[in-house]
Structure 1
Amino acid sequence: MAPVLIGLAGVSMAKASQFAFGINTWIITHFSWGALFYMPAGFAFMIYLTKRFFPGIQGSGIPQVIAVIDDPSHKKKNNLLSIKIIIGKVITLMCGLIMGASIGHEGPMVQIGASIMHRFYGYGTIRTAEQRRMLVLSGGAAGIAATFNTPIAGIMFAMEELTKKYIFNAHSSTLLTVIISGFVSLAIVGNYTYFGYTNEALPFLTHIPAITLCGIVGGLTGGLFSLIVQKFSIILPQKIREAIQNHPYKFAALCGLIVALLGLLTNGMVYGTGYMPTRLSLESDTALHAWYYGPAKFLATLLSALSSIPGGLFAPTLAVGAGIGDGLSLLFPNLAPHSAIIILVMAAYLSGLTRSPLTSFIVTMEITGSQQMLLSLMTATLIASMVSKVICPAPFYHALAQRFEPSPATQKTDKTT
């Protein structure tokens, strides 16, 4: 029952995100300057909802899931995974997408899928910490499988990203949950590719320089994003840190205002998931955008993340990679076919940010239909992960998960109860 619910939730979230994108497109067309007013107010309002009614929904939701998996306690974690969390996540995510925040629904689906499975913890014989961990793990992985229509990527995500501190045990129930959720999505929407399709092939031996360059560029930029988000509250002067901590609504409003300005300067291309610009870039034989699209999307996504509004990073991250790849093809038009560079940098940037190279190349391969580039994608993501580690040693999601881990005092209390 739960895997079917996750599959239906994934399809519903994808449809709702498309609807929100349509509303945002209409707003941009008719009231483009209105973003200077409603985005700052909207960012601040979402932070208010998060703090006042739905604590635990901020950001993508993946760090919260990791924190629950890594918690050795047997107690139920309703503060991070619950029906209330699902409701708050959906409401604020749709608000953000309608406004044009540079966010996606994939990360939130991980928290939603984990919340659905976590709901069954404590019933019958499902009462141990290990059983809770496997429920949450399978639910989070199923969320990725359902939202991207990619069962294999869901399994790899569970193995590589969600269980860095624990050895992944391929229990039949875990694999079955991921597979069923993915097949529910396939049955409803068909075997589609999220960002379009390309039949571009890239002979590995003759394009090693291009693969290496794309991997290095993706690793550098992805690692930089991870470093800024992780160290933002540390590298700032103390007065600015205190101002942000004491005035979170004003800071969120400022982030919203800058995203709105970026949107006006790029004719709305940086808003939302980046689905349409990415698809146009991927399916084109030549560079489509000005050189500044990739950096502008990078900044819009960074500000949306720093503001702590609920929203995922997978789709915007892939869009940033596509923009950077588009700019790279402008600089080096004879480096490799345009679509190949786009796909390579998409995968490399995602790997540089998450430090999960296998998940990155499988997700990119499945959502672009580029199975013929498997070896090139794998190489680029491995290079990107190594480059990113030099810039930012701590893995992105696991570093953020520490903010949700219980204090030592809480853990001692749990052990004595």
Structure 2
Amino acid sequence: MNTTRTVRVLRVLRYRYASPKLWWRQGLFWGGAMLVAAIAIGFASGADYAGRLFRLMTDGRPWLPFLLAPAGLAISVQLTRSVFPGAQGSGIPQTIAALHLTDSATIDRILSLRVAVGKVVLTLLGLACGASIGREGPTVQIGAALMNALGRAARVPSVDVQRALVLAGGAAGVSAAFNTPLAGVVFAIEELSHSFESRTSGTVFTAVILAGATTLALLGNYTYFGQTSSDLPLGVAWIAVPACSLAGGLLGGFFSWSLIHAARGFRGKAGQFVQRHPVAFAALCGLALAVFGFVSGGQSYGTGYGQARALVAGAVHLPAAYAVLKCAATIVSYISGIPGGIFAPSLSVGAGIGATLAKFIPAAPAGAMVLLGMVAYFSGVVQAPITATVIVMEMTDNQTVTIPLMATAMLAFAISRMVCTRPLYGALADRFLSAQTRGH
């Protein structure tokens, strides 16, 4: 009896650890996670270059965005509809939708490599034309698409394993985009899957570790928004927590509410115009984008990364209206139908909120106020307070304000829910799933 049991154990061990097919799949998966990181790094460099190109073209020519933004957004929407269908928007709702589907053909269409290429090309085009978009959300869909393609190539044995690969690809995309490994795992739990099953946990952890190690090897141990040692001493300075929570939660909730209602479609003649003339509507959005850029002195264009990083370092003072104008520019960019995310612009809006409120709360350090504003608005937008806390904490390498960040994120989340009753990504994912059902 013991001999038979030993033989069975040896066979299992041989299958698990000596099977060439298994090692091929594992190697493909490990290589995919590292490739996701490399693509994310290249995408980040491309986004920086596109932003610099826009600033170079418009420097000393404040009239040029009034031509460049409408034309660029119109071209982007036309290419999205004709060449890269399914590439519009952030990419996170599409990834969430794919995780809830069982039809492999539909999943392959949502997470196709064509869509991934479109995300990169058209996001860079949008940034080169001044759109207020980020590349982090698209990186999530790119990572999920790459892992999905590798899973199909390796012929993984079950739908659950394929789903785990998609989830791991999305988490690796967040980890590599921000160089925040812990945030990648938390985002996978809190936002992408809303669960953390034991059969997927090892896959997600491995992908995040490999993506993080690749980023570390290629770029070194950097922090996305630099380092800050700002603290929030217990006492009167803590008035900053409810102040930032209220402002960030209200504005973040309004932002989410706006995008959700826009996704449902405009009513009346406006809705008919958008349906019949989507390219012309994108051009009008580009015109509005140029107006916001002109009023903000050019600060509302692009990802907002430079402004947020400078605010964290205390190296710049932006107009009090910056947060509102950046929020409006991001709404207009998103509803135009071009590919692009909202992560970096949202963090920039939050930084602007914190910097503005710091002028009215002298008891609280300005640096700490910027961090609280970031976590408040981001939590208000995505309604994922744990992810918001971890991602801001990791991006600034500051653990001294962990408790204030957590408190602010939770309060902002509660306030945002009063304005927008549904989480943004979940609502957009449901809308996307409904559209897929109607299309078939």
Q: State if a TM-score over 0.5 links the two structures.
A: yes
- Inter-partner Cα distance in structure 2 for 1:410 and 1:119: 25
- Does structure 1 residue 290 correspond to structure 2 residue 311? no
The verdict on how the C-alpha distance between 1:406 and 1:208 changes in structure 2, with shifts beyond 3 A counting, is same
1:134-149 to 2 correspondences below 5 Å: 134-149=164-179
Q: Is the 8 A contact 2:244 2:353 kept in 1?
A: no
C-alpha offsets along residues 254-295 of structure 1, whole Å, 9 cap, x if unaligned?
A: 11111111112222111101122212222117x711211111
1:353 — aligned with what?
Answer: 381
Secondary structure of the corresponding residue to residue 122 of structure 2: helix
Partner of 2:356: 327
Deviation sequence 1:76-128 (CA, Å, 0-9, x none): 62221121112111110111111110011100100110011000233455142
Q: 2:344 aligns with which of 315, 324, 327?
A: 315
Deviation per residue, 1:200-227 (Å, 9 max, x gap): 1112455332112211211111111000
- State whether structure 2 residue 207 is matched by structure 1 residue 177: yes
User: Post-superposition shift, 1:398?
Assistant: 1.0
2:364 equivalent to 1:336:
yes
Distance 1:371 1:38, change over 3 A: same
Q: 1:49 aligns to what SS in structure 2? A: helix
1:273 to 274, 284, 303: 303
- Equivalent pair of 2:113/2:146 in contact (CA under 8 Å): yes
Identity of aligned residues (%): 38
Distance across 2 between alignment mates of 1:407 and 1:16: 32
Counterpart of 2:303, as a letter, is T
Q: 5+ residue gaps in structure 2? A: 1-30
SS at the partner of 1:171?
helix
Match of 1:238 in 2: 268
Matched, 1:228 2:265: no
Equivalent residue for 1:61, pick from 78, 91, 111: 91
Q: Return closer, same or farther for 1:198/1:390 CA change in 2, 3 Å cut-off.
A: same
Q: How many residues align?
A: 409
Q: Does the CA-based 8 Å contact 1:121-1:127 persist in structure 2?
A: no
Q: Is the 8 A contact 1:76 1:121 kept in 2?
A: no
Instruction: State the secondary structure of the residue aligned to 2:108.
Output: coil
**Distance in 1 between residues matched to 2:242 and 2:271, nearest whole Å:** 38
TM-aligned CA deviation for residue 392 of structure 1: 0.8
Deviation of residue 305 (structure 1)? Answer: 0.9
Corresponding position of 1:219? 249
Alignment check: 8 A CA contact 1:318 1:350 kept: yes
Aligned-partner Cα distance in 1 for 2:312–2:385: 21
Q: Which residue of the partner structure matches residue 23 of structure 2?
A: none
Contact 2:232 2:238 in 1 (8 A): no
Is residue 406 of structure 2 the alignment partner of residue 394 of structure 1?
Answer: no
Match for 2:340: what amino acid? G
> Equivalents in 1 of 2:154, 2:36: separation in Å?
21
Is 2:325 the counterpart of 1:306? no
Choose which of 189, 192, 201 in structure 2 pairs with 1:159: 189
| Secondary structure at 2:109 match in 1 | coil
**In structure 2, what is the equivalent of residue 367 of structure 1?**
395
3-state SS of paired residue (2:38):
helix
Distance 2:151 2:416 in 1: 37
Kindly tell me: are residues 109 and 234 of structure 1, through their superposed partners in 2, closer, same or farther at Cα, counting changes over 3 Å? closer
Q: 1:70 to 1:279 in 2, by over 3 A?
A: same
| Per-residue Cα deviation, 1:9-49 (whole angstroms, up to 9, x for no partner) | 11111111111121112112143311101210110110100
For 1:32, the equivalent position in structure 2 comes to 62
Structure 2 counterpart of 1:91? 121
Distance verdict in 2 for CA 1:203–1:67, change over 3 Å: same
1:391 maps to a residue whose letter is V
Offset, 1:365: 1.0
**Partner of 2:63: helix, strand, or coil?**
helix
Q: 2:263, 2:335 within 8 Å by CA — same for their partners in 1?
A: no
**Root-mean-square deviation (Å):** 2.0
| 1:106 corresponds to 2:133 | no
Do 2:350 and 2:378's aligned partners in 1 also have CA atoms closer than 8 Å?
yes
Judge which range, 154-163 or 244-253, deviates more: 244-253
Matched position secondary structure for 2:401? helix
> Looking at CA atoms only, which structure, 1 or 2, has the larger radius of gyration?
2
8 Å CA contact retained: 2:38, 2:214: yes
SS in 2 for 1:201: coil
Find the aligned partners of 1:225 and 1:246 in 2 and give their Cα distance. Answer: 25
Partner residue in 2 for 1:48: 78
User: For residue 363 of structure 1, what is the amino acid of its counterpart?
Assistant: I
**Change in 2 beyond 3 A, CA 1:235/1:67:** closer
TM-score, reference length from structure 1 = 0.93
Whether the 8 Å contact between 1:204 and 1:375 is mirrored in structure 2 is no
Say if 1:188 and 1:292 are closer, same or farther in 2 by CA, change over 3 A: same
**TM-score scaled by length of structure 2:** 0.89
Q: Which is further off, 258-267 or 5-14?
A: 258-267
Q: Work out the CA distance in 1 between the residues paired with 2:104 and 2:295.
A: 50
Q: How far apart are residue 228 of structure 1 and its match?
A: 0.9
